[in-house]
Structure 1
Amino acid sequence: MPVELAETLGKSNTAIGRIYNTVYQRCRENRQLIIDKFPRLNRFLTGYDLRHVFNDEMTEFDLTRVLTGSEGTLAFITEARLDITPLPKVRRLVNVKYDSFDSALRNAPFMVEARALSVETVDSKVLNLAREDIVWHSVSELITDVPDKEMLGLNIVEFAGDDEAAIDAQVSALCQRLDELIARQEAGVIGWQLCAELAGVERIYAMRKKAVGLLGNAKGAAKPIPFAEDTCVPPEHLADYIAEFRALLDGHGLSYGMFGHVDAGVLHVRPALDMCDPQQEILMKSLSDDVVALTAKYGGLLWGEHGKGFRAEYSPAFFWRAALWRTTQSEGGVRPAKPPEPRKNLSAGRH
């Protein structure tokens, strides 16, 4: 809404008026602090999105940016009006094959520049598990092996819209550039395949969505644990971030697979741990601390897609405690009333 309307609502001597006034004034007074401290991401967190309460021009005010995804800590939403986007009439997938997962990550910005709608990525661990599953029969013709090459990474690049000619032109331009990279043996690209039929597009995504289940089917006591599974960093830093993330996990000899939305800088990973082993439980907390430090180093966020839950104890590491407190404390509307104290332990506990 226009800031003038927000100011008018804030003058009302009602509970709603006090909330509008508090959020408006706090976010305006601390605007520079928020800009300096909050992660710069193209998709945001679970609630308390103080950076986008105002637009860049400071002409629009949006209270829902604070509430949406705040997990009941600020308000209970009983009714909402949603905007619905019509499904596109035309969809195309370009399945791009790489000689390494790192190459797939580093080539993702190239896909975004081609005006792709989305770029999903899958590592060799997930690909190999898919090959052993019945799901591979439905996609094997859409992701064929490259002669004399080993496919260790895959980017699933989607183009979509209502103008078929325009979409096909975008796809053609990308494929031509990919052929040039292959000819020059650059960027780790070893091949690509176009999927132009809707049924094929849906089968590829079904394989991708089955990734969590495939990883969870691993034999043994250690199972994939979702304690740092949706970290998010600016896409331009993703490859370097993941390289350090993998080194961290490899240093502990852990098994894991990675997949996610590289256009948004979100990678899903669930390291396999035996939570019946007390030492593995301690390791989970230690790894959480390390991943928090690593994610903050690259200007990212620990919970880029899912809820915070127990992970909320790490909020000060990303938002700077005083910035969050100053902008959310109030006399009668918005909590918390004092700086939040981090929880002392992230233990899963036994009850």
Structure 2
Amino acid sequence: MAQYGAFLSALRGAGFTGELSRAASDRLVLATDNSIYQVMPQAVAFPREARDLERIAALLAEPRFHDIALRPRGGGTGTNGQSLGEGLVVDCSRHMTAILEINAAERWVRVQPGVIKDHLNAALAPHGLFFAPELSTSSRATIGGMISTDACGQGSCAYGKTSDHVLSVTAVLPGGDVLRTAPHAPGAFPPGREGEILRILHRIATEQAALIAERFPKMNRSLTGYDLAHMRRSDGRIDAGAVICGSEGTLALIAEARLNLLPIPRLSALVNIFYDDFQSALRDARVLATMGATSVETVDSRVLGLARADVIWREVAAFFPDEDAKGVNLVEFTADSAEEIAAAIARLTAELAEPVNGRRGHSLATGADVGRVWAMRKKAVGLLGRASGPKRPLPFVEDCAVPPENLEPFIAGFRAILDAEGLDYGMFGHVDAGVLHVRPALDLTDPAQEPLIRRVTEAVQALARRHGGLLWGEHGKGVRSEFVPEVFGPLYPALQEVKRAFDPRNQMNPGKIAGPGALMAIDGVALRGQSDRQIPPRGAPVMRRRCPATAMARALRRRRQR
């Protein structure tokens, strides 16, 4: 702890303009995210400008601070502890929130890392443009966090992932060097540290080409962190931005990004299809994904039930008249003309006339009602975390990805794993991309349930690999990094080499993705439930300590009343 105090003092002396804190309250707030984990950092930095990031990174090179670890953080929406760990949290979401430049003619925007995704799209809407990757946490997810996890969600088959829309990143390397990513031809690498990094990436891309092609699955989600498959472009140029996207803060501090933008579709329509059971909805999704939709989402009866109990249901109830349906597919079409939308709906409704795959009926939402249904779906996901009772559906194995044609049998196996453990669960997700979010309900204030985290995770990891998929298809690796060496196999040393090139002393979010030593493990990190056990259950007697200040105030009031 003393070393971090010295580091903060040195930062102030170097002209750091943001805020620095070792207060227990600040550290406790940033000890958690949207995951099941809780790790108390030693200190917190809230940089105000890019130069503050350079000041932090430059101090890391001083020998007295070689043991300092940085934990870059965005909006705290990560579900796998990506930003958690001991060390100095660098939180850009407080001050570095500027939209620096909008170029509507060329369809790009330049932003600081703390910009929230929904705020960005609100600023872009008057220009008829939007930043395409969609997230259920878009009201609080930051652009820096999206880049760090290569985030995506609904509509990714049409719009891709965050990395597909990142034109360049300005990143600060440990030691203070600034890297502005751009594709470079192998014979024209720039001098200095950037050139050294590019030469290493080029050599890996060349020498390991066959192994990369073999190990990286041919899926919409693929393998991010580190994305060796895309660091060499089709024209042979090398782009370091490909490995920074999805690196979860393990390589550099993101100071700025230039993003590609797309025109906002003029029209949209949403067909809501109801099923006898959830597996039927999954089975039918393979057919629906061939209909040219922008997105195909599936929701189970548990998620719908939570939405029905919420005030938001009044706005969408008319589109979900079948209360006995056990699964729903939401199929969205977007276009710029009414004729295109009408033709797409006609193709789908003709298919739905066939009474197969447990179909029970469908409804149609258009115009503003499409947004209301999606708002319900987003809110219902959040409601999972506020379910009544001690058990909560938890996101620790919720973003597996498999080839879409394998999704239905994969989920059948997933459900068998959870049923064998006697667990309830909620399911929703992006079936067109082969991703389904599954949240088993656990009470982690009960120590006896902690071993379920490992048992379920290991079983699901093995199941995903048998079906040609991944344990992490959308939400990053984080604490689940222990599985990286197994998944990457003989390519793991290449990941370690990338890590050394950017971060030679392993100071950037150590224990995640790759490193010189052991990586974080799912049962090697403190759980939030362990702290929650200290809170007395409802109805239990509470020992109250008398507060001297309160006692004095009461005495003064009594004196005035005499």
Q: TM-score, normalised by structure 1?
A: 0.89
Deviations 1:259-308 (A, max 9, x none): 01111111112211111111211111221111111122222222222232
Query: In structure 1, what is the Cα distance between the partners aligned to 2:498 and 2:480?
Result: 24
Indicate which of 181, 188, 195 corresponds to 1:9. Answer: 188
Contiguous gaps of at least 5 residues in structure 1: none
Q: Aligned-pair distance for 1:340?
A: 5.2
Q: 1:154 and 2:323 equivalent? A: no
Distance in 1 between the 2:378 and 2:331 partners? Answer: 15
Q: Tell me the amino acid that sits aligned with residue 9 of structure 1.
A: A
Give the Cα separation in 2 of the matches to 1:159 and 1:38. 30
Q: CA deviation at 1:176?
A: 0.9
Question: Residues of 1 paired with 2:282 and 2:326: CA distance?
Answer: 12
Q: Residue 481 of structure 2 is aligned with which of 305, 308, 312?
A: 312
**Counterpart of 2:364?**
194
Within 5 Å, give how 1:16-95 maps onto structure 2.
16-55=194-233, 59=236, 61-95=238-272
> Structure 1 331/142 Cα, relative in aligned 2: closer, same or farther at 3 Å?
closer
Deviations 1:26-85 (A, max 9, x none): 122101111111232213454211122235x56454332211120121222212100111
- 1:333 and 2:501 equivalent? yes
Counterpart residue number, 2:491: 323
| Unpaired stretches in structure 2, ≥5 consecutive residues | 1-166, 168-181, 507-514, 532-562
Q: Distance in 1 between matches of 2:272 and 2:439?
A: 24
CA contact (8 A) 2:184 2:237 kept: no
Contact 1:37 1:319 in 2 (8 A): yes
Residues of 2 paired with 1:331 and 1:170: CA distance? 47
What secondary structure, in the 3-state scheme, does the structure 1 residue paired with 2:413 have?
A: helix
- C-alpha displacement of 1:215: 2.0
Deviation at 1:344, TM superposition (A): 5.5
Provide the secondary structure at the position in 1 that maps to 2:256: coil
Q: 1:106 aligns with which of 283, 307, 318?
A: 283
CA distance in 2 between counterparts of 1:269 and 1:34 reads 29
- Identity rate, percent: 45
> 1:191 Cα deviation (Å)?
0.8
Larger radius of gyration: 2
Tell me how far apart the structure 2 counterparts of residues 46 and 314 of structure 1 sit (CA, whole Å): 14
Determine the structure 2 residue equivalent to 1:115.
292
Q: Write out aligned runs for 1:247-326 (5 A).
A: 247-320=416-489, 322-326=490-494
Deviation at 1:4, TM superposition (A): 9.4
Distance, in Å, in 1 between the alignment partners of 2:290 and 2:446 is 46
Q: Which structure 2 residues correspond to residues 108-257 of structure 1 after superposition, within 5 A?
A: 108-145=285-322, 150-179=324-353, 181-182=354-355, 186-196=356-366, 198-257=367-426
Contact 1:46 1:305 in 2 (8 A): no
Residues 208, 330 of structure 1: CA spacing in aligned structure 2 closer, same or farther, 3 A cutoff? Answer: closer
Sort the Cα spacing of 1:270 and 1:327 in 2 relative to 1 into closer, same or farther, 3 A: closer
> Number of residues paired by the alignment?
339
| Alpha-carbon separation, structure 1, partners of 2:298 and 2:499 | 47
Structure with larger RCO (C-alpha < 8 A, sep 6+): 1
The answer to whether the Cα contact below 8 Å between 1:9 and 1:21 also exists between their aligned partners in 2 is no
Deviation at 1:15, TM superposition (A): 0.7
Measure how far apart 1:247 and its partner are.
0.8
After TM superposition, give the deviation of residue 227 of structure 1 in Å. Answer: 1.0
Instruction: Give TM-score scaled by structure 2 length.
Output: 0.57
